[in-house]
């Protein structure tokens, strides 16, 4: 595709598209770091009554809003297709139908507008959000990626290599927030609901502090605390359909105790791995990184150890397309291109082992 021949990628204007789960997001980013504008059309209202994301519904909603969102983004910024230098789209990992919606639209636009196209790993783009926030962040550093579908700690090396240091053995941290909230009759998505409820609760009311740390000193587990919350909320014999037995204060106490345990586990393990790797920097990435208790705890514990931390703006922790455009610009600048045969993949790890560099 000819348009990319003489592009100065440090000034290039890239359109990002994100549709891996339940957010249809588009963004315009200049030079891989300057966010001109980004829009997120959330499907939260659509999925709330089901208590979680329904893939078929997500797919249909992406199809309905994606092109109008792109049009509105370009119109608002007075940008024409001729002004663009490249197009980046999330193509892995995520809900396959949702991903394919974004990938198909991106391929059609790349063809129609004669733009270089690149598929982006969603997890790597979450890490790029930390680099957008902290331009000084450079490898090697330890990244905690904690989202709704993924929770792992990685050593990010020069050239964008990722070595998995540890992570969840069962549920992702965000998934645990969502499930605990459902058990406590708090609205979907669970992360922000638990955070809100926890403010009025006693975080020591339930003895769960160490419940998410595995005995090997390396990994995390969120399935045990999920059961503990269920028993606390609905009795030991209970299934999820049993009546909630906690009053409002009990729900707040359970939310605060749950949040304390998850935060304690994420911070403990991340800093332990950072210390073992001898890095100076830790990056906090993914939707759960929006959690204020987690941010505050990591900030103070890291400061005590003399570590620097990169925290994306809260708005850029949860799914967005600015991080996709930023990651796409890095790849395009390194000469990575995809053709009209670009596919999507439900599963992937970050880094060249999972996919490709840099
Ligand atoms: O990265 P993300 O937006 O989507 C995925 O890639 O999965 O992460 C979504 C997850 C959800 O599980 C949501 O409950 C959680 O991030 N989350 C939070 C907060 N905001 C979003 N978890 C804890 N506290 C929050 N404030
Ligand atoms: Zn995400």
Q: For atom 2 of ligand 1, which residue has the closest CA?
A: 287
279 domain residue, yes or no? yes
pLDDT at 50: 85
Residues 69 and 16 in one domain: yes
Give the C-alpha separation, 67 to 71, whole Å.
6
Residues in the chain: 358
> Which residues are registered as beta bridge partners of 118?
88
| Beta-strand runs (E) in the chain | 13-18, 23-30, 34-42, 86-92, 117-121, 141-146, 151-157, 161-167, 281-285, 308-310
pLDDT value for 353? 62
For residue 282, the SS3 value is strand
Question: Is 132 inside any structural domain?
Answer: no
CATH number at residue 158: 3.30.420.40
| Same-domain pairing of 235 and 325 | no
Question: Which two structure tokens, joined as six digits, stand for 293?
Answer: 């208790």
Secondary structure of 119-139 in the HEC alphabet? EEEHHHHHHHHHHHHCCCCCC
| pLDDT score, position 357 | 38
Looking at the CA of 146, name the nearest ligand. Answer: 1
Output the CA–CA distances (angstroms, integers) from residue 293 to 37, 113, 212, 271, in the order listed. Answer: 28, 44, 16, 16
**143 and 268 inside one domain:** yes
Give residue 87's domain range: 2-127+317-333
Neighbours of 281 (CB within 10 A): 21
Residue nearest to atom 7 of ligand 1 (CA): 148
- What region, left, alpha or beta, does residue 154 occupy, with left being phi > 0 and alpha being psi -120 to 50 degrees? beta
What is the whole-number distance in angstroms between the Cα of residue 319 and the centre of ligand 2? 5
Distance 286 CA to ligand 1 centre (A): 7
Closest ligand 1 atom to Cα of 189: 14
**Ligand 1 pocket at CB < 6 A:** 21, 147-149, 174-175, 177-178, 189-192, 195, 286-288, 290-291, 318-319
Specify the pTM: 0.96
Cα(79) to centroid(ligand 1), Å: 31
Question: Is the separation of the CB atoms in 205 and 253 below 8 Å?
Answer: yes
Q: How open is the CA angle 11-318-231, to the nearest 5 degrees?
A: 165
pLDDT per residue over 176-215, tens digit each?
A: 999 999 999 999 899 999 999 999 999 999 999 999 999 9
pLDDT for 236: 82
Q: Are residues 66 and 195 in the same domain?
A: no
Q: How far apart are CA 334 and CA 319, in angstroms?
A: 24
Give yes or no: residues 247 and 99 share one domain.
no
pLDDT along the chain (358 residues), means of 10: 78 98 97 98 89 89 97 98 98 97 98 98 98 96 97 95 97 97 94 98 98 97 96 81 90 98 98 98 98 98 98 97 98 97 97 56
What is the pLDDT at residue 242? 76
309-343: per-residue pLDDT in tens?
999 999 999 999 999 999 999 999 999 999 999 99
How many angstroms is it from 66 CA to the middle of ligand 2?
A: 18
Ligand nearest to the Cα of 192, by number: 1
Asked if residue 24 is part of any domain, the answer here is yes
pLDDT given for residue 239 in this prediction: 64
302 and 157, same domain (yes or no): yes
Residues 206 and 304 in one domain: yes
Q: Say how many Å lie between the CA of residue 123 and the centre of ligand 2.
A: 7
In this prediction, residue 358 carries a pLDDT of: 35
C-alpha closest to that of 251 among 196, 291, 292, 330 = 196
Q: Which two tokens stand for residue 271?
A: 């800093």
Domain co-membership, 289 together with 253: yes
- Asked whether the beta carbons of 310 and 255 are under 8 A apart, the reply is no
- The number of domains in the chain is 2
Ligand closest in space to the Cα of 316: 1
Q: In this structure, are 6 and 57 located in the same domain?
A: yes
């Amino acid at each position: 595709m000819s348009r990319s021949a003489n592009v100065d990628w440090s000034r290039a204007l890239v359109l990002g598209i994100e549709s891996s789960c339940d957010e249809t997001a588009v963004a315009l980013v200049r030079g891989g770091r300057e966010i001109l504008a980004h829009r997120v059309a959330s499907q939260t209202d659509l999925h709330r009554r089901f208590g979680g994301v329904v893939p078929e519904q997500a797919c249909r909603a992406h199809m309905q809003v994606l092109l109008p969102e792109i049009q509105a983004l370009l119109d608002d910024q007075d940008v024409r297709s001729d002004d663009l230098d490249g197009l980046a789209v999330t193509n892995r990992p995520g809900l396959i139908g949702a991903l394919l919606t974004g990938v198909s639209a991106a391929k059609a636009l790349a063809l129609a507008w004669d733009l270089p196209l690149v598929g982006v790993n969603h997890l790597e783009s979450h890490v790029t959000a930390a680099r957008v926030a902290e331009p000084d962040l450079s490898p090697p550093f330890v990244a905690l990626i904690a989202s709704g579908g993924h929770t792992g700690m990685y050593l990010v090396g020069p050239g964008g290599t990722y070595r998995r240091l540890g992570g969840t053995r069962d549920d992702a941290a965000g998934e645990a927030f969502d499930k605990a909230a459902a058990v406590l009759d708090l609205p979907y998505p669970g992360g922000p609901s638990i955070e809100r409820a926890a403010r009025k609760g006693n975080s020591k009311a339930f003895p769960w502090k160490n419940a998410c740390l595995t005995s090997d000193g390396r990994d995390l587990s969120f399935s045990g605390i999920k059961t503990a919350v269920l028993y606390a909320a609905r009795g030991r014999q209970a299934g999820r359909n049993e009546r909630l037995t906690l009053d409002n204060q009990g729900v707040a106490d359970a939310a605060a105790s749950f949040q304390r345990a998850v935060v304690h586990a994420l911070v403990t393990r991340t800093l332990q791995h950072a210390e073992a790797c001898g890095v100076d920097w830790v990056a906090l990435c993914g939707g759960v990184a929006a959690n204020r208790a987690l941010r505050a705890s990591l900030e103070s514990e890291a400061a005590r150890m003399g570590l620097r931390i990169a925290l994306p703006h809260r708005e850029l922790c949860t799914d967005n397309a600015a991080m996709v455009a930023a990651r796409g610009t890095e790849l395009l600048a390194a000469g990575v291109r995809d053709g009209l045969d670009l596919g999507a993949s439900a599963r992937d790890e970050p880094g060249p082992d999972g996919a490709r560099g840099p």
